[in-house]
């Protein structure tokens, strides 16, 4: 099923290009190189901020980077668009989340800030994901992932850094209560189970991966049908819908797979590589 019409391919990172606990496979790296060799543009499309994009992903040297879930759009080193929360709205969210049972995470272009409650929840979930690892291995994974899961909220200065993403964690009931109070002033990207807790992820109004993809495609003169995307999470739904061909990872969200045009293998199964080979977009290695 040869497909020569693809001009741009968008890739989520975690669970798609790589796993949190392992780096990009050699065949996936080959697939990206082959796309570039054939003149197909490639673009990262991630919920991570710019400074937390892993080294092995940066080394792929893709043409574009959509970070913060769509908050920042870059093409060949130039930032084309950026969105952040209004200061007053953010301060109100911080006031609402000052409950002992709720954790708050703020993301800026350069940093990730967590309060004590959020740090504890993230640390616990990370330990569960890495239960077969030694402490030394855990620290190595943390460094490579660029997430330290520490209480550093007191270091955040609203006048110095603008926030483009917030994550709120706690019981499902408390999260739903908070959601009703803030959803009119933001874009709810996902509300999903998070270990034994619940997570609410919010971006500035109108900001999501799909809108960012449409913006970049328009800037580059690329039609929807000429673009393809790969993702795994619920926050990738808008991404897949914004491209002509949306591919979900086999171990991804059940809801995402329902809307995908196709499902490919997991990261460890070299799913991206095999899908591009099967579509005759790249040659077999």
193 occurs within a structural domain: yes
Contact 272, 264 (CB under 8 A): yes
pLDDT for 165: 95
Domain closes at, from 203, 230, 254: 203
Pairing relation of β-strands 8-11 and 227-231? parallel
pLDDT for 205: 95
Same domain (yes/no): 110, 192: yes
Extract the tokens encoding 259: 């809307």
Please choose, from the candidates 112, 104, 113, the residue with its C-alpha nearest in 3D space to the C-alpha of residue 175. Answer: 104
2 occurs within a structural domain: no
Choice between 146 and 233, residue whose per-residue pLDDT is larger = 233
- Mean pLDDT in residue range 227-241: 95
98 occurs within a structural domain: yes
pLDDT for 36: 95
> Which whole-number Å values give the CA distances from 109 to 84, 101, 137, in the listed order?
10, 27, 27
Same domain (yes/no): 70, 98: no
Same domain (yes/no): 93, 174: yes
Domain count, the chain: 2
Same domain (yes/no): 176, 211: no
Contact 217, 223 (CB under 8 A): yes
pLDDT for 39: 95
CB under 8 Å to 213, separation ≥6 — which residues?
Answer: 10, 45, 66, 227, 229, 238, 239, 242, 243
- Long-range CB contacts (< 8 A, 24+ apart) of 222-229? 222/7, 222/8, 222/41, 225/5, 226/5, 226/6, 226/7, 226/8, 227/6, 227/7, 227/8, 227/9, 227/10, 228/6, 228/8, 228/9, 228/10, 229/9, 229/10, 229/11, 229/12, 229/45
Helix (H, G, I), strand (E, B) or coil at 22: strand
**Mean predicted lDDT score pLDDT of the chain:** 92
Give me the CATH number covering residue 97. Answer: 3.30.1240.10
3 occurs within a structural domain: no
The domain in which residue 178 lies consists of 87-203
- Per-residue pLDDT at 3 exceeds 70: no
Whole-model pTM: value is 0.88
Same domain (yes/no): 78, 212: yes
Condensed to tens digits (0 to 9), the pLDDT of residues 159-205 reads 899 999 999 999 999 999 999 999 999 999 889 899 889 999 999 99
Residues in the chain: 285
- Rounded to the nearest 5 degrees, what angle is found at the Cα of 241, between the Cα atoms of 239 and 245? 95
Same domain (yes/no): 79, 91: no
Domain closes at, from 203, 230, 249: 203
Measured distance CA(209)–CA(213) in Å, rounded: 6
- Mean pLDDT in residue range 64-71: 96
Same domain (yes/no): 218, 145: no
């Amino acid at each position: 099923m040869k497909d020569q019409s693809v001009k741009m391919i968008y890739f989520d990172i975690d669970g798609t290009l790589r796993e949190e606990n392992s780096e990009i496979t050699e065949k996936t790296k080959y697939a990206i190189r082959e796309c570039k060799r054939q003149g197909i543009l490639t673009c990262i499309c991630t919920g991570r901020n710019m400074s937390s994009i892993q080294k092995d992903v940066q080394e792929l040297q893709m043409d574009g980077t959509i970070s913060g879930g769509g908050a920042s759009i870059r093409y060949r080193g130039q930032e084309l668009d950026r969105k952040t929360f209004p200061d007053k709205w953010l301060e109100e969210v911080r006031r609402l989340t000052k409950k002992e049972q709720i954790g708050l995470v703020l993301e800026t272009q350069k940093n990730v800030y967590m309060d004590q409650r959020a740090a504890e929840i993230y640390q616990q979930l990370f330990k569960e994901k890495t239960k077969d690892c030694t402490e030394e291995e855990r620290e190595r994974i943390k460094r490579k992932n660029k997430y330290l899961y520490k209480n550093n909220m007191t270091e955040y200065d609203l006048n110095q850094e603008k926030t483009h993403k917030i994550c709120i964690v706690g019981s499902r009931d408390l999260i739903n209560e908070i959601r009703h109070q803030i959803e009119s002033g933001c874009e709810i990207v996902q509300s999903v189970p998070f270990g034994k807790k619940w997570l609410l992820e919010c971006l500035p109004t109108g900001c999501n991966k799909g809108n960012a993809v449409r913006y970049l495609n328009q800037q580059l003169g690329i039609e929807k049908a000429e673009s393809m995307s790969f993702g795994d999470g619920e926050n990738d739904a808008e991404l897949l819908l914004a491209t002509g061909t949306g591919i979900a990872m086999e171990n991804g969200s059940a809801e995402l797979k329902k809307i995908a045009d196709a499902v490919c293998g997991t990261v460890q199964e070299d799913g991206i590589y095999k899908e591009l080979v099967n579509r005759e977009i790249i040659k077999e290695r």
